[in-house]
């Protein structure tokens, strides 16, 4: 079975409070971004080992802790799954605020559910996904949502950005999510995100913000420079995604986003949502 785990963008993000479990409460809107990895899951005969082949962008850390492998182990513990061959081709940049690792985990759960006909409903898959990362449960249904608590409880939102030209710029800074959270002071949300995002996209610049962007831009000025470039090129809205370091711009009404003069080592994704 071959699946294509996609990334996500955060439209606005407020860190709203400290939780007793050490995590923070947040409010954000998540939307799928069709920048994708490829993940193949094949059953192998009993008696062989489960394997994980990794190609594409190198993933830091021990492959034994790769989120695809952890997703498999989680289901195997409950469902006595046979061994599998996993092959992940990594395309989405890592530590970018695009949720690529979380998507791999959620798509692995979904693929195993289908392949072995486990018939787990989305609520059960989300419960497994929450054990692998706060972002992970979003990718089970993979539709725009207002997310709150740890970012793993969702309310449906009617927001359709289909066809909007979008540019995502990843400057190659790997910002750890834990480091980013440590730099943000929790506070009450400045706006009701659902209300702000229901207004025309051109108004978001004044109402929709990301607390990580405010905390990280003084330390990593390149984030602010990319955002300025996106606005100078005609973006109606630009922001850091999640805890960064990817910065995106939305260009409604354009066929494709304009070209930008950027250092050759930056990764750039240009397409329509």
Ligand X SMILES: Nc1ncnc2c1ncn2[C@@H]1O[C@H](COP(=O)(O)OP(=O)(O)O)[C@@H](O)[C@H]1O
Which residues carry out catalysis? 8, 135
Tell me the closest approach of the beta carbon of residue 24 to ligand SUD, in angstroms.
4
Backbone angles phi, psi at 13, to 5 degrees: -160, 120
Report how far residue 212's alpha carbon sits from residue 151's, in angstroms, rounded to the nearest whole number: 14
* Pairing status of strand 145-148 against strand 237-240: unpaired
Per-residue contact string for residues 13-32; x = within reach of ligand SUD by CB under 6 A: ----------xx-x-x----
Tell me the closest approach of the beta carbon of residue 136 to ligand X, in angstroms.
9
Helix (H, G, I), strand (E, B) or coil at 258: coil
Angle at 86 between CA 84 and CA 91, to 5 degrees: 165
The smaller minimum CB distance to ligand X, of residues 67 and 208, is found at 67
Backbone angles phi, psi at 220, to 5 degrees: -120, 80
The smaller minimum CB distance to ligand SUD, of residues 186 and 233, is found at 186
Per-residue contact string for residues 172-211; x = within reach of ligand SUD by CB under 6 A: -----xx--x------------------------------
Question: What's the token pair of residue 205?
Answer: 């610049």
Using rule CB under 6 A, residue 99 touches ligand X: yes
DSSP category for residue 49: P
Per-residue contact string for residues 47-66; x = within reach of ligand X by CB under 6 A: ------------xxx----x
Tell me the closest approach of the beta carbon of residue 85 to ligand SUD, in angstroms.
26
* Pairing status of strand 84-90 against strand 51-56: parallel
Conformational region of residue 252, where left means phi above 0, alpha means psi within -120 to 50, and beta covers everything else? beta
Contact between 168 and 148 under an 8 Å Cβ cutoff? The reply is no
Positions touching ligand SUD (CB under 6 A) are 10, 23-24, 26, 28, 97, 99, 102, 133-136, 150-151, 177-178, 181, 242-243
Binding residues: 93-103
* Residues found near ligand X in the complex (CB under 6 A): 59-61, 66-68, 88, 90, 94-102, 104, 177, 242-243
């Amino acid at each position: 079975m071959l699946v294509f785990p996609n990334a996500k963008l955060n439209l606005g993000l407020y860190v709203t409070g400290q939780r007793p479990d050490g995590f923070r409460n947040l409010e954000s809107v998540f939307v799928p971004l069709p920048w994708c990895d490829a993940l193949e899951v094949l059953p192998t005969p009993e008696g062989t080992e489960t394997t994980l082949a990794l190609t594409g962008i190198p993933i830091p850390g021990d492959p034994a802790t790769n989120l695809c492998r952890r997703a498999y182990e989680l289901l195997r513990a409950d469902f006595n799954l046979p061994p599998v061959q996993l092959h992940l081709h990594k395309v989405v940049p890592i530590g970018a605020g695009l949720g690529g690792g979380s998507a791999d985990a959620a798509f692995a759960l979904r693929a195993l559910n289908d392949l072995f006909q486990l018939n787990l409903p989305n609520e059960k898959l989300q419960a497994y996904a929450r054990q692998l990362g706060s972002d992970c449960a979003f990718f089970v249904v993979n539709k725009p949502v207002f997310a709150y608590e740890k970012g793993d409880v969702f309310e449906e939102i009617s927001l359709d950005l289909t066809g909007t030209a979008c540019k995502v710029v990843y400057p190659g800074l790997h910002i750890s999510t834990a480091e980013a959270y440590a730099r943000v002071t929790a506070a009450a949300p400045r706006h009701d995100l659902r209300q702000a995002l229901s207004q025309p996209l051109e108004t978001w610049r004044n109402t929709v913000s990301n607390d990580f962007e405010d905390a990280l831009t003084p330390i990593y000025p390149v984030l602010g420079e990319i955002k300025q470039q996106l606005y100078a090129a005609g973006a109606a809205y630009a922001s850091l995604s999640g805890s960064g370091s990817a910065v995106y711009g939305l260009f409604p009404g354009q066929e494709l986003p304009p070209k930008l003069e950027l250092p050759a080592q930056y990764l750039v994704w240009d397409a329509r949502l």
